[in-house]
């Protein structure tokens, strides 16, 4: 559910339509977007925009209760994983709640994107810079 002042109208529109447990995916430049799922392509060149600023901007708007990450991020990209988890924890503390974190194999992650209302494509090119945000409610 929408709560902030995100400038990107497509992302803002998608967030405004999300209901409880609907999902929104943020992906790196290599994550495949399934047929039938809205693609919001922010990628300009390799590395722009990076994953974390996009995640941070979206979480200023979207109320979440859980995130889903690929299991492989633990070994392939521990630095980004630490950044994500730290930010998610701070977001939860600010909201006075705990945000659950689920890990699934990358192939299963890609299958789960089929149920997302949209996939936001960043220019990120670091391994496994992908996340599924599970919407909560604002009440």
Annotated active-site positions, please? 20
SS (HEC) of 31-53: CCCCCCCEEEECCCECCECCHHH
| Residue carrying structure tokens 């990358």 | 106
Residues 6+ apart with CB under 8 A from 91: 59, 64, 99
- How far lies 53's CA from each of 47, 75, 110, in Å? 12, 22, 22
Distance CA 104, CA 110 (A): 10
Is 106:100 a contact under the CB 8 Å cutoff? no
Burial class of residue 138 in the structure, from the number of CB atoms within 10 Å of its CB (0-12 exposed, 13-18 middle, 19+ buried): exposed
Binding site membership: which residues? 28, 106, 128-130
Binding site membership for substrate: which residues? 28, 106, 128-130
């Amino acid at each position: 559910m929408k709560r902030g002042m995100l400038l990107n109208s497509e992302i803002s529109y998608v967030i405004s339509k999300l209901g409880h447990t609907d999902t929104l995916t943020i992906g790196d430049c290599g994550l495949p977007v399934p047929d039938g799922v809205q693609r919001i392509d922010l990628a300009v060149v390799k590395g722009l925009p990076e994953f974390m600023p996009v995640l941070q901007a979206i979480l200023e708007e979207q109320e979440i209760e859980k995130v889903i990450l690929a299991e492989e991020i633990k070994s392939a990209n521990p630095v980004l994983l630490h950044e994500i988890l730290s930010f998610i924890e701070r977001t939860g503390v600010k909201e006075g709640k705990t945000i659950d974190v689920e890990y699934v194999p990358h192939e299963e992650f890609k299958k789960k994107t089929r149920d997302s209302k949209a996939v936001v494509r960043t220019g990120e090119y670091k391994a496994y810079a992908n996340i599924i945000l599970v919407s909560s409610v604002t009440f």
